[in-house]
């Protein structure tokens, strides 16, 4: 228990230079909870399951934006003097189509994950009955694809961080 508390205190007393590995766990958990509450709604259509699903999807989007910004910051850390965020953005732009780079593959999978999550959120906000009726099957397919993208992006990201 002492080691756990020491690790938590160390985050505040000695903040990490790289923030992306710390922040990325939040959208992962929020997307999984969104999927869980969506499936629970399909088996037992209760309004609170639908509401919690949408709340977790929104939380995933907000934390994804923070994780993306942190990823740009972290990718610019070792690129010389200057604003690390702008250096990371420039590096990602220059290497956007170098698919032999695992960072590029991770970036594109993460952007696709964000885009599909945003589309699902917009779908849910604009169409209250997205989880019911005939469109529930299509929504389920996008949810499945969203979770597949989450697993793929997470796998590639973990391979970068945990060698």
* Residue-level pLDDT at 103: 77
* Residue-level pLDDT at 77: 62
**Domain coordinates in residue numbering, the chain:** 19-161
* Residue-level pLDDT at 36: 96
How far is the C-alpha of 35 from the C-alpha of 39, rounded, in Å? 6
* Residue-level pLDDT at 142: 94
Task: Return the sign of the alpha-carbon dihedral for residues 26, 32, 38, 44.
Answer: negative
Task: Write down the mean pLDDT value for the chain.
Answer: 83
How far is the C-alpha of 135 from the C-alpha of 38, rounded, in Å? 14
Question: DSSP assignment of the chain, as one string?
Answer: -HHHHHHHHHHHHS--S--HHHHTHHHHHHHHHHHHHHHHHHHS--HHHHHHHHHHHHHHHHHHHHHHHHHHHHHTTTS-SS-HHHHHHHHHHHTTT-TTSHHHHHHHHHHHHHHHHHHHHHHHHH-TTTTSTTHHHHHHHHHHHHHHHHHHHHHHHHHHH--
Average pLDDT per run of 10 along the chain, which is 163 residues long? 67 58 86 95 92 95 90 70 71 75 85 95 86 87 94 87 69
Q: Among residues 124, 146, 140, which one has the least CA distance to residue 64?
A: 146
Q: Which tokens in the block code for residue 128?
A: 């209250």
Query: Using an 8 Å Cβ cutoff, are 19 and 112 in contact?
Result: no
């Amino acid at each position: 228990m002492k080691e756990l508390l020491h690790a938590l205190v160390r985050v505040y007393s000695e903040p990490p230079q790289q923030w992306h590995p710390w922040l990325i766990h939040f959208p992962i958990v929020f997307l999984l909870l969104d999927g869980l509450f969506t499936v629970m709604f399909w088996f037992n259509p209760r309004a609170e399951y639908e509401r919690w699903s949408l709340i977790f999807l929104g939380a995933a989007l907000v934390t994804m934006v923070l994780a993306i910004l942190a990823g740009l910051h972290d990718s610019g850390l070792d690129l010389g003097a200057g604003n690390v965020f702008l250096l990371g953005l420039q590096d990602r732009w220059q290497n956007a189509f170098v698919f032999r780079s695992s960072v590029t593959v991770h970036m594109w999978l993460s952007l696709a994950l964000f885009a599909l999550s945003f589309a699902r959120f917009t779908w849910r906000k604009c169409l209250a009955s997205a989880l019911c009726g005939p469109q529930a099957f299509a929504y389920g397919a996008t949810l499945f694809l969203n979770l597949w993208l989450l697993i793929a992006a997470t796998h590639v990201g973990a391979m970068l961080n945990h060698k």
